[in-house]
Amino acid sequence: MRRSTLAVFLESVIEWGIRLCGLSAIVFVFGIFFFVFREGAGFLFGGFKPLEFFGSIEWYPTSQSRVRYGALALIAGTASVTALAMVIAVPFGLGAAIFVSEFCPPRLRETLKITIELLAAIPSVVWGFIGLTVMNELIIDVFQAPIGLTVLNGGIILALMSVPIIVSIGEDALKAVPDSYREAALALGATRWQTVHRVLLPGARNGLLAAVLLGIGRAVGETMAVLMATGHAVQIPTSPLDSVRTLTATIAAELGEASVHSDHYQVLFIIGIVLFVITFAINLVADFVVRGIRRSS
Amino acid sequence: MNGPRFGQHNFRATVASVRKIRQERAAAAIFGLMSALMIVPLVLIVGYLIVQAAPLLTFDFLVESPRRGMRAGGIWPALLGTVYLVLISLAVATPIGVLAAVYLNEYAGENWLTRMVNLSVVNLAGVPSIVHALFGLGAFVLFAGLGRSILAASLTLAIMTLPVIVASTKEALSAVPRSFREACWNVGATRWQTIWHVVLPNSFSGILTGVILQVSRAAGETAPIMFTGAVFYKAIASGDPFAYGLLDQCMALSMHLFTVSTQVPDVPDALPYATAVVLLGTVLSVNALSIILRTWLRSRKRW
């Protein structure tokens, strides 16, 4: 039986639709870069001083006498909060990944994985609120600090936010190590700890590195939580109990006040470009690292 | 079988094996503790939020409008705004995301283009939410001329949550065995007929899991809607479900939590807590629904 011309035609339309949707992700990523770049381009090619932007800590976007756009303190803010978050999240995340994948009885494993999934689902504004209220008071009480909205606060919140991603990708990486490796180690009389330490960690190295990288990506890009928890002081922090402001928080806090297409507005888009490039690079590297394991195994 | 039995009594632990057992237990304990340390604070914090919010958590709180400059009353406009944003972003993201996953799983070959698409999906998920907000502002609000509106905010959310749907749909599609497709091709069905009549019905519930996950993600986001359509305050009739138009600005639950906890002075203590609990409760219960559906699916899997 022959199919009607209409059916054949409709099918090719649908198939083209599917191809189009398939390519849409590429279009969107380029679209994001294009539109963010477009809004910031005017100032980027006229009046923008890269040396001041990357080298000065003077962020006075609305100064009456002399407007200055030095983002170094903001970069330091992002870097310090992210670094502290990773100092906490990497050992805990990898430890939990090892526990879930190697030590945990199956029933507990399911429960743990579901809990971690729920941990990942908590909206960032709720994390921010927890930072603003619970963590704030806790830090003031424990450290006798005048204010609890600090690098420490943001770092702990971001750590809790990036742990789920590190656990789930780290666990995948450990699972990808063939069981024959574990059996071989067991046959040699190694304990599970020795197996983890000497066999699995080296074997899953690339995957674990990717997990950490994606955790960093998440922490760098996080907005609402750091906006609410780190206390809005544009300065280079000298201790974890200093307040800072991050790149993301600056955009969120100031975009509403900057009039459309003013220099200030365009500088905020340039910060957006910087963030886009950083996270893009991190994701690209993580992808190459993961691909590295697939090819070698 | 009546051979010699090797019970524990036949062996005596050597110093080395005792050390090994200790080492083993210590490692399990340490890693177990690390896992517990992530989860205990979560439970404590959620419990604390609920206790603080308790006095305000009534049905009236959900369906009343805010009063006295958001210092009293309920959260109806915010709740409704979130529902609008989520539903519209869902309507946009689901078809595109599902078809994109169909492309990746059923059509795409092993080539550089497929790799580019996969890489783009990963990157789309990795772009910071505030950059999505800048994109939404530049593309939908200004370039497309939608203004700050529910539509612009929903489209921004849709693009941001697309990777969630693509990833889970891809997983659902690849769980359908290849033999199903081959059987269908062998009776003369075309590629699309196979997908429509065999692959999609068999992966429907898996796709649904991803869609539910998208809902939870979209409901919780704040940054992307901040500059594209959500506002601090908008007066609408209490309890009216059709109060917003597509090109109106709206309130949203996540944005409202940010507002009452940072922007409005002298808010009664319980109000932001109650808002947080409603938001958290919505997101977590939607997520739990997705997890339950997934567990149920796995338990009744026939192949």
| CATH number of the domain to which B172 belongs | 1.10.3720.10
- From chain B, the residues in CB contact with A29 under 8 A are 120, 123-124, 127
Question: Which residue in this structure is represented by tokens 């969630």?
Answer: B164
Domain boundaries, chain A: 5-46, 68-296
Which residue is closest to A281 within chain B, CA to CA? B123
Contacts of B9 (CB under 8 A, 6+ apart): none
Q: Are A245 and A234 in contact (CB under 8 A)?
A: yes
For A37-87, what is each residue's pLDDT tens digit?
998 888 888 878 888 888 888 888 887 778 888 889 899 999 999 999 999
Residues of B in contact with A99 (CB under 8 A): 28, 31-32, 34-35
Q: Choose from A15, A24, A92 for mutation: most chain B CBs within 10 A.
A: A24
| pLDDT higher than 70, residue B216 | yes
Q: Which residues face B72 on adjacent strands? A: B67
* Strand ranges for chain B from DSSP E: 66-67, 72-73
CA distance B266 to A232: 20
For chain B, the domain total comes to: 1
Q: Tell me which residue in B117, B131, B139 faces A22 most closely, judged by beta carbons.
A: B117
Distance from CA of A153 to the nearest CA of B (A): 14
Nearest CA among B152, B151, B171, B156 for reference residue B218: B156
Q: Extract the tokens encoding A187.
A: 């046959």
Confidence of residue A259 (pLDDT cuts 50, 70, 90): confident
Report d(CA A223, CA A212) in Å as an integer: 19
Query: Tens of pLDDT along B266-291?
Result: 788 888 899 999 999 999 999 998 88
CATH level 2 (architecture), domain A68-296? Orthogonal Bundle (1.10)
DSSP secondary structure string for all residues of B44-103: HHHHHHHHHHGGG-SHHHHHSPEETTTTEE--HHHHHHHHHHHHHHHHHHHHHHHHHHHI
> Which candidate from B124, B217, B284 shows the least CB-CB separation from A29?
B124
- Among A281, A95, A290, A102, CA closest to A207: A290
User: What are the tokens at B13?
Assistant: 């632990």
Q: Which among A98, A163, A223 has CB closest to B128?
A: A223
In this prediction, does ipTM exceed 0.85?
A: yes
Contacts of B34 in chain A (CB under 8 A): 91-92, 95-96, 99
Q: What is the pLDDT of residue B160?
A: 93
Work out the burial of residue A43: count CB atoms within 10 Å of its CB; fewer than 13 is exposed, 13-18 middle, 19 or more buried: buried
Q: Does A22 sit within 8 Å of B283, measured CB to CB?
A: no
Residue B23 forms part of a structural domain: no
Helix (H/G/I), strand (E/B), else coil: B250: strand
Sequence-distant (6+) residues with CB within 8 A of A32 are A276, B124, B127, B131, B132, B135, B159
Q: Using CA atoms, how far apart are residues B255 and B232, in angstroms rounded to an integer?
A: 7
Task: Mark yes or no for CB contact A125/B222 under 8 Å.
Answer: yes
- In DSSP terms, A231 is beta-bridged to A244
Identity at A128, one-letter amino acid code: G
Tokens of B2: 């009546």
**How close A281 gets to chain B, by Cα (Å)?**
9
Kindly tell me if the per-residue pLDDT of A136 is higher than 80.
Answer: yes
Residue of B nearest to A287 (CA): B119
Owning domain of residue B232: 66-299
Is A96 in contact with B34 (Cβ distance < 8 A)? yes
pLDDT over 60 (residue B189): yes
For residue B67, give the 3-state DSSP assignment: strand
